[in-house]
Amino acid sequence: KGMRAYDMSMLMRFDDALAEGARLAGDDATDTALSASIDALDPHQDAIIVYTSGTTGMPKGARISHRNVVVSALTLGEAYDFAARPLSALCYLPLCHMVERLFSLVVPLVWKAEVSFAESIDTVARDLVEIAPTYFLGVPRIWEKLQYGVMIRSGEARPIARRALRAALAVATPIAERMLANGGEYAGARDRWVAAMLQLLVFRNLRSMLGLNRMWMAAVGGAPISPNVVVFFRCLGVPLYQVYGMTETSGLTNVQKPGFVKLGYAGPAVRGMEQRLADDGELLVRGEMVFQGYLHDPDATAATIVDGWMHTGDIAEFDAGSSEIRIVDRKKAVIITSGGKNITPSLIENALRDSMYIDEAVLVGDGRKFLSALIQIDFDTVGKWAQQRQLAYTNFASLSQLPEVRTLISAEVDKVNAHFARVENVRKFMLIRKQLDHDDGETTATMKVRRTVIESKFAREVAEIYGDDA
């Protein structure tokens, strides 16, 4: 009985580790050896091997050099003036993810930041309150969950508090929209004064409740975020800045910042990064942050870097007035219906996810007569909705299959369809009976759906949707 015996030779008391560190710090020979090791380092030598997320294919090992990561961290810090601000970060994504490694490991080393580690990705909301970081990278689902959490709690609050928040948001929303259309500046003195009063009376306390009261740099990465979420947090006094990058660009190519906050876009290219569009609309980039190639895969490297330009695999558009970029979708994700219509699924999927009742949506319809969707309900918000109506359920699966829930989601789908062309309408949908899970290979570390995995796992459900109409 008891714990199995194990080798303790590699263990050291923490006090002993501190003492050994102090000894080495005062050892000239150690300093000399360390300096020599640094001097001998080739900046183009591989620093890390980071595997791509594989949303539309198999993951590949990207070789990232020391120069790649240092230039990326320096460029990010210069864009947001990290040198002039106190830096405190909250790390919650796996460090195998390039952007998290950039924000929570390389930036702290280059710019001297404190880093706290979240208990898990499921406790981020609680950890934000505890740590109150000054800069933070949130994937879209994190910001969406924070917004939905506010709306759920307001629904449970006293009537006077609920009415106060709704009234404040009703006044603040058009101010925030005008501000975003004006490059991040208030459209006039009246807007500035009204916003200041709302911050003082309502939103300041709300920011503290969310752990956002010290945050001056709030970034969105991993995927495009809904404009509605951006406007909501702008109302609260938390400007969200979309950043764009990928593993192969050391996590960074474009950043929004004051003056460049166009809704739906990801800002202009950072210093030292060149960009252009191929004939088919694919974004091509080159610069010091572009990776060294794929590990043990020269063919994939040659296919990705052609004539010095890296093919990102993303379809993009440039804003002519500001040079900001909008990522449309992955090139491989574009759906071509049996009628020959090209559909960009992410635009419709993002619109569906704008609903507080829909956690995830995956469009299908390649080679089919019409579009359909696999939809995952939001367990928290739909669960609360069901409880308020005294609808009985035992778990996620039983909740998702309630007829009343299907009617609820159908109404949300109809709202989205009203904003798209008929060929882009979701004609049928199915509510999946499980929550998509990273551990099951269904999502990436940043909560992006692995489309090929989903299409394979839910092939039977897709066949059931189409039946004889395929």
Q: Taking a C-beta distance cutoff of 8 angstroms, is the pair 366, 335 a contact?
A: yes
From 81, 85, 105, 109, select the one nearest 95 (Cα to Cα).
105
Tokens of 235: 């109302």
Does residue 368 contact residue 339 with C-beta atoms inside 8 Å? no
Please state, in angstroms and rounded to a whole number, the distance separating the CA atoms of residues 315 and 283: 6
3-state secondary structure string across the chain: CCCCCCCCCCCCCHHHHHHHHHHHHCCHHHHHHHHHHHHCCCCCCEEEEEECCCCCCCCCEEEEEHHHHHHHHHHHHHHHCHHHCCCEEEECCCCCCHHHHHHHHHHHHHHCCEEEECCCHHHHHHHHHHHCCCEEEECHHHHHHHHHHHHHHHHHCCHHHHHHHHHHHHHHHHHHHHHHHCCCCCCCHHHHHHHHHHHHHHHHHHHHHHCCCCCCEEEECCCCCCHHHHHHHHHHCCCEEEEECCHHHCCCCEECECCECCCCCCCCECCCEEEEECCCCEEEEEECCCCCEECCCHHHHHHHEECCEEEEEEEEEECCCCCCEEEEEEHHHCEECCCCCEECHHHHHHHHHCCCCEEEEEEECCCCCCEEEEEEECHHHHHHHHHHCCCCCCCHHHHHCCHHHHHHHHHHHHHHHCCCCHHHCEEEEEECCCCCCCCCCCECCCCCECHHHHHHHCHHHHHHHHHHHC
Give 34-331's CATH code, choosing from 3.90.70.10, 3.40.190.170, 3.40.50.12780, 3.90.650.10.
Answer: 3.40.50.12780
Distance CA 352, CA 428 (A): 13
Give the position of tokens 């040079």.
Answer: 323
What phi and psi, each to the nearest 5 degrees, are found at residue 321?
-80, -30
Residue-level pLDDT, tens digit, the chain, 470 residues: 445 555 677 788 999 999 988 888 777 776 788 788 888 999 999 999 999 866 556 789 999 999 999 999 999 999 999 999 999 999 999 998 999 999 999 999 999 999 999 998 889 999 999 999 999 999 999 999 999 999 988 988 899 999 999 999 999 999 999 999 999 999 999 999 999 999 999 999 999 999 999 999 999 998 889 999 999 999 999 999 999 999 999 999 999 998 899 999 999 999 999 999 999 999 999 999 999 999 999 999 999 999 999 999 999 999 988 889 999 999 999 999 999 999 999 999 999 999 999 999 999 999 999 999 999 999 999 999 999 999 999 999 999 999 999 999 999 999 999 999 999 999 999 999 999 998 898 998 788 899 989 989 999 999 999 985 54
CATH top-level class for 334-469? alpha beta
Where do the structural domains in the chain lie, given as residue ranges?
Answer: 34-331, 334-469
Cα–Cα distance between 185 and 461 in angstroms, integer?
48
Could you tell me the pTM of the whole model?
A: 0.87
Residue 120 forms beta bridges with which residues? none
Looking at residue 140, what is its pLDDT? Answer: 92
Distance CA 211, CA 132 (A): 5
Distance, CA of 239 to CA of 259 (rounded, Å): 12
Find the farthest-apart pair of alpha carbons in the chain and give their distance in angstroms, rounded: 79
CA-CA distance, 422 to 371, in Å (whole number)? 10
Q: Work out the angle at residue 456's Cα, subtended by the Cα atoms of residues 450 and 457, and round it to the nearest 5 degrees.
A: 85
